Amino acid sequence: MGIPHLLLIPYPTVGHVNPLMHLSHALAKHGCNITFLNTEFNHKHAHAADAAVGSQIKFLTLPDGLGPQDDRRDNRKLIFSIKTHMPPLLTKLIHDINALDVHNNITCIIVTVNMGWALEVGYNLGIKGSLLWPASATSLATCDCMPRLVDDGIIDSDGNPTKKQQIKVSPNIPMIDTANFPWCGLGEVLFHHIMQEMQTLRLGEWWLCNTTYHLEPAAFSISPRFLPIGPLMASDNNIISLWQEDTTCLEWLDKQPHQSVLYVAFGSSPLIDHNQFKELALALDFLNRPFLWGIHPRNDNKLNNACAYPDGSKGKIVGWAPQKKVLNHPAIVCFITHCGWNSTIEGVCGGVPFLCWPFLKDQFVNKSYICDVWKVGLGLDKDENGLILKEEIKNKVEQLLGDEDIKARSQKLKELTLKNIAKDGHSTKNLERFIDWAK
């Protein structure tokens, strides 16, 4: 058997590019040849953070079909442009790669969700494929159940919940509010896209998940395709980053006492409105302890405002933090997070207690895992106007920091989770099984 040559194609947003880059890293370490395909737009804006790893991985680009002025935050526009423009370009690219070296032909394609069309391209060329799902296995299980949910009348044929209720897609999986299904709020066009996408993704033999059996045991009963290979963070670095990381915060963290700093970050989407922003800023001020607050670079106006808010001598505000390094820094005592899946896994691997502030969709289920299943964090409650008040934030932080059981469970969960990627760990074995298959 030869060396497998895998072509990895992420949907071009940070929550997809990062985990797929980490998978590239893991596969390259196991001796695979990797070609990583980015959109031209993303490649231009990516910052290489780890040249050593980059040299083992070949980067190629294709245009996404949008113009320079188009708004790539508009997922509908981006998805349909990609699906229309990229398939013929990818077919040609694979022919060109294969013609270059007959001993190093592409043996397998790995995509993230929304890029199922690339599995079809591969299928037509006789190349097998797989999916890397960038969120929890539970959210994948939910999407996999979409036709059943329509048949059972839980959602209508356009994806809207028929009534307000909480359901379990499988026994032992936390309850999901039907309003928080992954497709809710996206509109019927994207609902039908996801329905079709889930079918297309069946061309992928494996649905790799950045998780472990013990984190979400019940999700794996849904389908034999699911293969946990997480946590995908063998290195602390994001190998490439779509935003310039502000590493000055690491030097600042070095100067803070152990277990003293609150880390606040809500991922890559601007999620917080002006009033809520103000409550958070005032709470950080009240708490009177060091904090590191990542405010997304897209939130420039809030970033400027923030500098005027909590007393700058106590905290540090950055645009884009090197999050994995931050979460592994001994100065960090708690993570105030929106509970995106990547942030959730990274927090688990850092062994830090969570203060959960979910905003939408799967973030609520991730919060249930954190607070109710793993018991390594607390949730924030809204007042009758839907606002999380400064007093609530302050009280919950204090409660969390005083809870020795949560701290102990966070450390234990970290150890259990990291065991999966040690030699002979479950995820390591699954990855080896996958590589054998890719050969």
15 near ligand UDP, judged by CB under 6 A: yes
Query: Is 346 one of the binding residues for ligand UDP (CB under 6 A)?
Result: yes
Q: Which stretch binds ligand UDP (CB under 6 A): 22-30, 87-95, 183-191, 318-326?
A: 318-326
CA distance 220 to 228: 9
Residues binding ligand UDP: what is the number (CB under 6 A)?
A: 18
Q: Judged by CB under 6 A, which of 159, 231, 340, 350 binds ligand UDP?
A: 340
- Give the separation between CA 294 and CA 391, rounded to whole angstroms: 21
E strand residue ranges, 49-133 = 57-62, 108-111, 128-133
321 vs 401 by CB, closer to ligand UDP: 321
One residue of 200, 343, 410, 430 binding ligand UDP per CB under 6 A: 343
For residues 130 and 247, give the distance between their C-alpha atoms in angstroms, rounded to a whole number.
35
Please, are residues 282 and 307 in contact by the beta-carbon 8 Å criterion?
Answer: no
Q: Are strands 166-167 and 176-177 parallel, antiparallel or unpaired?
A: antiparallel
Residue 323 interacts with ligand UDP (CB under 6 A)? yes
Sign of CA dihedral 155, 160, 162, 164: positive
Which of 54, 182, 231, 294 contacts ligand UDP by CB under 6 A? 294
Contact stretch for ligand UDP (CB under 6 A) within 152-160, 194-202, 263-271, 301-309: 263-271
Q: Report whether 193 contacts 201 (CB < 8 A).
A: no
Closest by CA to 154, choosing from 169, 133, 173, is 169
Q: Please give the span between the terminal C-alpha atoms of the chain, in angstroms, as a whole number.
A: 6
DSSP state letters, 196-237: HHHHHGGGEEEEEESS-TTTSGGGGGS-TTEEE-----SSSS
Among residues 8, 9, 14, 28, the one that binds ligand UDP under rule CB under 6 A:
14
Nearest Cα to Cα of residue 228 among 213, 248, 238: 213
- Residue 323: exposed, middle, or buried by beta-carbon count in 10 A (0-12, 13-18, 19+)? buried
Nearer to ligand UDP, 10 or 15 (CB): 15
Does 342 engage in binding with ligand UDP (CB under 6 A)?
A: yes
Provide, rounded to whole angstroms, the least separation between the CB of residue 266 and ligand UDP.
7
Name the residue whose CB lies closest to ligand UDP: 340
Q: Which of 122, 267, 347, 379 binds ligand UDP (CB under 6 A)?
A: 267
* Of the residues 207, 263, 320, 335, which one makes contact with ligand UDP according to CB under 6 A: 320
Rounded to whole angstroms, how far apart are CA atoms 294 and 276? 15
CB of 107 to ligand UDP, least distance (A): 28
The residue among 75 and 305 lying less far from ligand UDP, judged by its C-beta, is: 75
Considering the complex, what minimum distance in angstroms separates the CB of residue 341 from ligand UDP? 5
Instruction: Choose one: 285-293, 305-313, 320-328, 370-378; the region binding ligand UDP (CB under 6 A).
Output: 320-328
Residue closer to ligand UDP by CB (options 33, 417) is 417
Which residue's entry shows tokens 């509970």? Answer: 339
Options 18, 81, 142, 417; binder of ligand UDP; rule CB under 6 A? 18
- With 0-12 / 13-18 / 19 or more C-beta atoms within 10 angstroms meaning exposed / middle / buried, residue 348 is buried
State which residue, 296 or 396, has the beta carbon closest to ligand UDP.
Answer: 296
Q: Does 230 bind ligand UDP (CB under 6 A)?
A: no
Binding status of residue 268 toward ligand UDP by CB under 6 A? yes
The one among 36, 263, 309, 341 contacting ligand UDP by CB under 6 A: 341
**Which lies closer to ligand UDP via its Cβ, residue 90 or residue 232?**
232
Three-class secondary structure of residue 191 per DSSP = helix
What is the rounded CA–CA span in Å between residue 338 and residue 340? 6
Tell me the window of 20-28, 102-110, 265-273, 396-404 that interacts with ligand UDP (CB under 6 A).
265-273
Helix (H, G, I), strand (E, B) or coil at 62: strand
CB of 402 to ligand UDP, least distance (A): 26
Closest CA to 285 of 307, 315, 253: 315
d(CA 22, CA 150): 35
Single out the segment in contact with ligand UDP by CB under 6 A; choices: 104-112, 193-201, 334-342, 410-418: 334-342
Q: Quote the tokens at residue 394.
A: 């302050």
Binding site for ligand UDP (CB under 6 A): 14-15, 18, 238, 265, 267-269, 294, 320-321, 323-324, 340-343, 346
